[in-house]
Structures are given as C-alpha cells and as structure tokens.
Amino acid sequence: MNVRGLILSPCTHEWRNIMFSEKSVKAGITYPKGFLAAGVKAGIKKSGNLDVAVIYTEKEAAAAGTFTKNAVAAAPVHISKAVIAAHKARAIVANAGCANACTGEQGEADAIAMQEIAAKALGCEPQEIVVASTGLIGQPLPMDKVEKGIKNAATALSVTGSMNAGAAIITTDTYPKSGTASVLIDGTEVRFGVIAKGSGMIRPDMATVLCFITTDADIDALLLQEALSEVIEHSLNMISIDGDMSTNDMAIILANGAAGNPKIREKDAAYEAFKETLLALCQGISERIAADGEGATKFLTIHVKGAKSFLDAKTIGMSVANSPLVKTAFFGEDPNWGRVICAVGYAGVPMNPNHVTVKFGGIPVYVGGIGVPYSSDALYDVMKAHDIVIEIDMGEGSYEAKVWTCDFSYEYVKINGEYHT
C-alpha cells in the first residue's frame, strides 16, 4: 500500500509519524477534498474557550457511525443515530461544556433545534446534520449561546478550520487530537482526516468519546459502516482510562467521494486498502487519547499475546487496564507485577498460571507461575519512562490484542473531585 509516497505497514512508527506530524495535525479534518470546518467561542465553557464546532462537506457524504452502549445515552446520541441510519449527511455540529444528557424531552428538543439551526445556516436539511455534545451531565443546553455559536461557526467555515474545530470539542483534554492519512486506491489518492476528544470517563464498548473522521473516498455507505465498525473494535474500543463509559460517546465518519476514485462497492483490494488506512489512523488517535488521560504521567500499552481468541486477549488486557492497583503502581513507578498477574487471574478467562509470562518493557518479571530475578537498574529505567509496554503471554494460543491506558495520579483525583465546580 502506498501511503503518501511511502510503502509502509500501518504498524510502523514511520507511518504514525507522518499521520501525526505537525503538518498533519494542522490539516486534520479539512485535509480530504471538499471539507470545511470551524470552531468558535459561544460562552458555553466556563473557561471562555472555543466550544462550538462545525464540520461541513460541500458534497453529500455517505455517513457511518458507532455510538455508546450506555443505557443512559444523551439526547444527541438518539438524534444522530437516526441520521446515520439514513447513511448520508452534510455536516457535524458539536458543542463542549454541556453534555445535554439526562435532560428529558427538553434535551431531545434542543438536539433537534441544533440540527434545524445548522441546516438553515448551511443550506441543507436537518436530517443531514449529526449533532454531538460533551461536558457536564444533567444541565440543559444554553440554547441562546448554542444558536449563536452554530451561526458564527457556519460563517467561519474554512479549509484551515480543523485546529479550531478540534479545540472546540475538548473538555479536560490537555490538547486537541488530530491527524491525517492518505492512500492510493486504484491510482487515485484518497485522503483521511480526524479530530477527537477524550481524557476521562473512557471505557468504551463500541466507540469512545467524540471522534469525527472525514474522507474524500467514494465508497458504498453500507461498506463504510462495516469498515468503521470493524476498525473501532480494534482501535477506539481498546482504550480504558478509568473504567467509566460515557453517555455521549460517538465515532462518525463522512465520505464525500470528492477524491474521484472508482467507487468501492465490494470487499476487494480497494476496500482492504481503505480499511487498513482507517485502522492505522484510528489506532494512532486512540494512543493519543489514552496518553492524554486525565492527570496521566504514564502511557501504558498492555500487549496480550498467546490467547485462544481476540476476545480473550482483549478481556485480559482490559482487566489489567481497569485495575486501580495496577494504574497506581505505575504512577508510583513500582514494578509490582503481582498486581498485573492478579488482574489477569480475575479477568474471567480460563487460564493456567504456569503458562503465563509477564514482561515490563521487555524484562521478564513473572514466568511459569513465579516471579523471576531481574536487573533492578534496568527495570528502574523502564518504570521511569513515560511510555511503558506491559507484555502478557498467556501461552494458550495465537491471538493477541493491545489495550491502551494510563496511570492514576493525584491530579486525576483532583480533576474529577472538582469537575462539577
């Protein structure tokens, strides 16, 4: 596969560096042809920062999405599911600072009003507008501010608006997440862009936080949905910051066909190239979300190998990632492998402890049911690092999975203890 002129595997650091270079981060969702974006200040966030974003495609786009499985889903989730069910959209409108969750009939009406305001400003139909909100649960949207923000954002749309749009959807994130990728499909360059937010209340069971992806690929809408669903399972669904699932999670992709590639209508080589590029982009953005977890000082990759199935590997990885004892140990730079093997044991996956090997940063700490001697100096260096790989080989099969998480710090408690105030 040719990605921006380089023949690279999606797993290589070189490709990741290209996707998230300074140039790519700035280009973001307006890198694909035919997309405009904007982010403006509407006064919804107490900080006074950017808080309303609009992403717009000049051509009607095929649309696909995945949404939170939390039974207490927010109003915009319900409204946007209906848009995605029709498989087409022209815009995404999102606000930060208020989640519009647990707001009853008024919340539903406000989400619909967001569609109507945006449709009038953009010259399209309300049912073509995906809406999203993030922020404090239980508070009604300040619709006077939201309306002003949507109108101002629609006026400000530009090909350089991705950075502001990304900044407008963040809450406790320390920075906006964005990136780009491109691939040759049947001799035509197809581009992808992404912005995402997420720092806390992340333990997805279908997507994560808010993630908006654009592409100028021409692809059948049902195939687009299938590709996104599969990609999400191996990327955004592999993150856990704190074990909580949000009421507002969604991942949306719009494909407007502006690249002019022969339309992807079946699962052929073109489809696989499309899906592989989307996967690499989503895995890269997932890593950045996990690394920017609330109060995080460590980025942890939990690589489970030798499992009997992908589901087993993921379940074990998530068990370790969700363990407060594991996360606090790594914050304290304590190589307490007992907490890791304990979390493996209660994951609910049948296993034989005598078959398991655990490594921290490539250094074996537990092999065949017992702890093993290691170089204290070498392990000290591993634990001091920001990026740490916890490798767990189950010795049972050939399947593997990577889960991304972070540590629990004093700052995490402070952020969440003061969130409402």
Residue 346 CA to residue 334 CA, distance in Å, equals: 21
For residue 57, the cross-strand partners are 35
CB 350 within 8 A of CB 280: no
Report which of 92, 142, 141 is spatially closest to residue 115, judged by C-alpha positions.
92
CB 348 within 8 A of CB 324: no
Catalytic residues: 208
85: enclosing H helix or E strand? helix 75-85
How far apart, in Å, are the Cα atoms of 80 and each of 65, 84, 305?
9, 6, 37
CB 363 within 8 A of CB 378: yes
CA atoms in the 13 A half-sphere facing the CB of 85 = 7
Q: Which residues 6+ apart lie within 8 Å of 47 measured at CB?
A: none
What phi, psi does 279 have (nearest 5°)? Answer: -60, -45
How far apart, in Å, are the Cα atoms of 340 and each of 177, 259, 327, 375, 390?
29, 47, 10, 19, 9
CB 87 within 8 A of CB 63: yes
Report which of 255, 219, 263 is spatially closest to residue 57, judged by C-alpha positions.
255
For residue 194, the cross-strand partners are 179, 213
Residue 405 CA to residue 169 CA, distance in Å, equals: 21
